[in-house]
Amino acid sequence: MEAAKKGLITPEMKTVAQKEGLDVTKLMALVACGQVAIPANVRHHSLSPEGIGTGLKTKINVNLGVSGDCNDYSLELEKVKLSLKFGAEAIMDLSNYGKTNTFRKQLLELSPAMIGTVPMYDAIGYLEKDLQAITAQDFMRVVRAHAEEGVDFMTIHAGINKRAVEAFKRSGRRTNIVSRGGSLIFAWMEMTGNENPFYEYYDEFLEILREFDVTISLGDALRPGCIDDSSDASQLSELIELGHLTKRAWAKDVQVMVEGPGHMGINEIAANMVIQKRLCHNAPFYVLGPLVTDVAPGYDHITAAIGGAIAAANGADFLCYVTPAEHLRLPDINDVKDGIIATKIAAHAADIAKGIPQARDWDNKMSDARRQIDWETMFALAIDGEKAQAYYESTPTEEKHSCSMCGKMCAVRTTNMILDGQTVSLHAEN
């Protein structure tokens, strides 16, 4: 950000501009004013930089990491490889069990995708202290450790200060606090009687992030955990604080993303995107879902994709995936794949709606292949070509130019034959 403010074009800006088909000087201006972030820790040497924000393609993030009940790091690495295969631009390591730095170092060595963490999750295992005994300086140690390892962006819940907590307590929420990091900060504040250390010592945390060029992702500790809590005083009071913290970070040349709502009715999503962009000065917006209904456990990749598509079409820049396992368990490898695919669909659908350059070209190529009944090209263009091909081949067809749904009654085949001057006969060989 400092380079952009000085009119200097960095290698990362050049890479992002090329990926986006954007003039690099225009990109530089967006980085300078904070509307685009390029999370790129100076120590993440395997990174292929991506831009997040105004006028750019919608990016997606994959969450993974171990827990006390599921601590198989080899499985998490398989999830990493799957995420990279399907083009996830970011991976967040949310491990909250044991010494996590070995896995994180492997992740940073392997991954061209940007890597994010939530230092609060790691604090208890890293420090080997009970929550109440952790000090502000302890939290800084964990943030510095993650920055030194090469993490590109960190979720820090700095907006849940005492004013926001007062609004939360008055609101009488149905699901209270559902953010894991937010609930831990809230518990620490209540047990110690102190201000949120990430808020009280915000400038000191920013100095650490600036030293390694880590982007701050301002966490929404008071995000709604059910549709009945959306757009309430708790959510909006924290969002006001996040807007103030955004400007403070930019003043220190620290790039910012702002995190957004988790559960929200479809009718509220567009307005929330406008409010966030207004209150947070057009900083990139990073949303989880939103999940548009609370009654679909086992299918929340779908409820989130619906909300994510609407959110991104109305201004959100970065979608955090949700898997079918949300609310139920740590996702397995199949859950991860389903979550990635659903979120990629949402992001691409939004890019078409936003008029992102070249977004519609992909669909046009697929449509051309369908008109030509060119199965190999269709499989090559599909988000998940392996699945598409497996479905097509699962039921052999008599007519190779159609699928088992229509056979010789295929509308495309019929129209092509007529336009080519041929006669259509459904009973004879053609």
Closest to 216 in 3D by CA, of 27, 100, 52, 19 = 52
Residue 371 marked ligand-binding:
no
> What gap in Å lies between CA 294 and CA 200, rounded to an integer?
35
For residue 264, report the phi and psi dihedrals to the nearest 5 degrees: -165, 135
Residue 341 token pair: 């695919």
Residue 45 marked ligand-binding:
no
Domain ranges of the chain: 1-33, 39-354, 399-430
> What gap in Å lies between CA 99 and CA 73, rounded to an integer?
11
Residue 120 marked ligand-binding:
no
Residue 205, pLDDT score: 98
Confidence of residue 150 (pLDDT cuts 50, 70, 90): very high
Residue pair 350/58 in contact by the 8 Å Cβ criterion = yes
Confidence of residue 125 (pLDDT cuts 50, 70, 90): confident
Residue 33 marked ligand-binding:
no
Residue 430, pLDDT score: 46
Q: What number is the average pLDDT over the span 211-239?
A: 97
Residue 231, pLDDT score: 96
The model carries a pTM of 0.95
Q: What number is the average pLDDT over the span 135-161?
A: 96
Residue 410 marked ligand-binding:
yes
Residue pair 216/250 in contact by the 8 Å Cβ criterion = no
DSSP 3-state percent helix, strand, coil across the chain (nearest 5): 50, 10, 40
> What gap in Å lies between CA 104 and CA 112, rounded to an integer?
13
> What gap in Å lies between CA 319 and CA 260, rounded to an integer?
10
* Cα maximum dimension of the chain: 84
Distances (CA, A) of 317 to 165, 348, 349, 372: 28, 12, 13, 35
Q: What number is the average pLDDT over the span 346-352?
A: 98
Confidence of residue 69 (pLDDT cuts 50, 70, 90): low
Q: Which residues of 160-175 are buried (b: 16+ CB within 10 A; e: fewer)?
A: bbeebbebbeebebee
Residue 92 marked ligand-binding:
yes
Q: What are the tens digits of pLDDT across the range 374-389? A: 999 999 999 999 999 9
pLDDT of 73 > 90? The answer is no
Residue 406 marked ligand-binding:
yes
Between 175 and 396, the more confident residue is 175
Q: What are the tens digits of pLDDT across the range 14-47? A: 999 999 999 999 999 999 999 999 999 999 999 9
Residue pair 224/188 in contact by the 8 Å Cβ criterion = no
Confidence of residue 71 (pLDDT cuts 50, 70, 90): low
CATH code assigned to 39-354? 3.20.20.540
Q: What are the tens digits of pLDDT across the range 245-286? A: 999 999 999 999 999 999 999 999 999 999 999 999 999 999
Residue 364 marked ligand-binding:
no
Residue 278 marked ligand-binding:
no
Q: Whole-number mean pLDDT of the chain?
A: 94
Lowest-confidence region among 256-260, 348-352, 391-395, 396-400: 396-400
> What gap in Å lies between CA 64 and CA 68, rounded to an integer?
13
Residue 286 marked ligand-binding:
yes
Closest to 291 in 3D by CA, of 305, 274, 272 = 305
Residue 161 marked ligand-binding:
no
Between 99 and 321, the more confident residue is 321
Distances (CA, A) of 42 to 38, 93, 210: 12, 18, 10
